Chains A and B, each alone.
Chain A
Amino acid sequence: MKRPIMRRVLLRALVAAALVALWQGAIVAWEIPPYLVPAPGSVAAAFGQHARLLGARAGFTLGSAALGLLISLGFACALSVAFTNSRVLARATMPLVVAFRSAPVVAVAPLVMLAVGRGIGTSIVVVVIVSFFPLYVNLMRGLAAPDRSAMELMRVTGASRWQVLRYVRIPYAMPYLFTGLRVAGGSAILGAMLSEWLTGAPGLGMTILQSGDMREIETLWAAVILTVGMALGVFWATSAGERAVLAWRV
């Protein structure tokens, strides 16, 4: 088990190194001036120079994304469990759920900001709205996933609703939960950064916008690379969590 992980990490490091080499090579080959594309070295220097600031900004964005995701997950879990047990409730709230899905962030974020104001509150509410639908849909599908024989066994042994949920529905829903988390995690970070553009809250999205305006090209690239790293990190974290939780299946 250990060796493939090592190899994967090594492979990713190699790919990253190759990308940096290509980047440096392109700058040398086409003589791209530093105000268009800075050299990897100067971006690394910007990382070092602004490490504190970038760390704090990334922490703010990650924090608001994580908090929003957590709240959204709570809502999605509660609603999906309630709805798998009551069809009437499910049908009554369906239009609301669809409205959530089809509302674009571009339209929602300004209204949220009007209501919640500047600061982290807007980011969190926007993240909740953006990440709710993928979580909810996947949980609904997961809770309905158990195969017939498992459900029949539960009925034969006279299991209560709670026991069906605990021993059959929830274990079966786990893979779906992680699929939802992977989708929602990416859009949570994007949603948080987009709301920072509106509110001016001190996160990574704001840093990208500001350094672009100030023509601090190296900081801009450092922040963009940090964003990509964050998105990849969320993706890998959910994948690793999935492997850890689903180890019993193998």
Chain B
Amino acid sequence: MTRALPLLVVVVLVGGVQALHALGRLPVFLPAPSELWAAADPRVLAAHIGPTLGRAAAGFAIAAGLALGAAGLATAVAALFGPIYTLGATLQAIPVIALTPLLAVWLGTGPSTQVVIAVLAAQFPMLAGAMQGFRAVDARQMELFHTLAAPPWQRLRLLIVPASLPYVFQGFKVAAPSAVLGTITAEWAGAERGVGAMMLNALFAFDPPQVWLAVLSACVLAGGGYALWAAVERLVVVWDRPAELAP
């Protein structure tokens, strides 16, 4: 019952809006679900969602590589821990709105600007998660590995990865939506195609159904990024649950 409740709310809302539409009582900016359905052209949607998805995924992948590498370096060299964290936090604090036009001048309005913004938007949660995770290794277990003279590879495979994965996935789950949203914001500053471009075009043409479709696409992409990593985590991390990680 409790699990069906959100679904019920959605059904009631959609039905209510549709009923209001039938009565002709909807404001112009609120299209009925049936109008949305009619306006949704799979080819147009794919033409806009595809580029955004590709840029966000590329940005996410690059950011993941950089963040994991930097976190590994920070854990290996204690003196670098503070500076690397500060660098990540500083990059995170740069507002997209000030940076995108500069990047557009440097890199052009092609996909590279949006990918760089996606990298910047996604890096910090993953960096923070990985740095926290690598440090979460139990000191006594580390000592045991030391006493048994375990080679570095075994230490990584059997100790560090299992201990840090829950934290790393936590970072991934936060970073995936922000990569998507960063990409879309960057697309506002100039892109031929993409969900952000679709929003701008639809707003200029005052086409409420298209605006709503673009917004819904953005929400689905962002939510989907989170759901994807949550599912992967559930498949991979079978030995531990974050809830049991309480110190």
Contact = CB atoms under 8 A, between A and B. Distances in A.
Interface string A80-121: 000000000000000000000000101100110111000000
B123 to A, nearest CB: 18
B189 A209 contact: yes
Interface residues of B, number: 31
Contact of A114 (B29, B98, B184): B29
B97 A114 contact: no
A29 interface: no
B199 interface: yes
A220 B200 contact: no
A197 interface: yes
Interface string B92-105: 00010110011011
Interface string A191-234: 00110011000000100110111010100100010011001000
Nearest to A193: B97
Interface string A150-174: 0000000000000000000000000
Contacts of A114: 29, 203, 206, 208, 211
Given A107-B218, A194-B185, A212 B102 contact: yes
Contacts of A9: none
Assign chain A's interface to a size class: 20 to 34
B97 A208 contact: yes
Contacts, number: 74
B77 to A, nearest CB: 26
Contacts of A208: 97-98, 101
B169 interface: no
A197 B189 contact: yes
Contacts of B222: 104, 107
Nearest to B98: A224
B181 interface: yes
Nearest to A108: B215
A209 B101 contact: yes
Nearest to A205: B97
B110 to A, nearest CB: 14
A215 B222 CA distance: 32
Given A113-B203, A209-B189, A220-B105, A107 B98 contact: no
A245 to B, nearest CB: 26
B37 to A, nearest CB: 18
A36 interface: yes
17 contacts: A104-B177, A107-B215, A107-B219, A110-B214, A114-B203, A114-B211, A190-B95, A193-B97, A194-B97, A194-B188, A197-B189, A205-B97, A212-B105, A215-B105, A220-B102, A224-B101, A227-B97
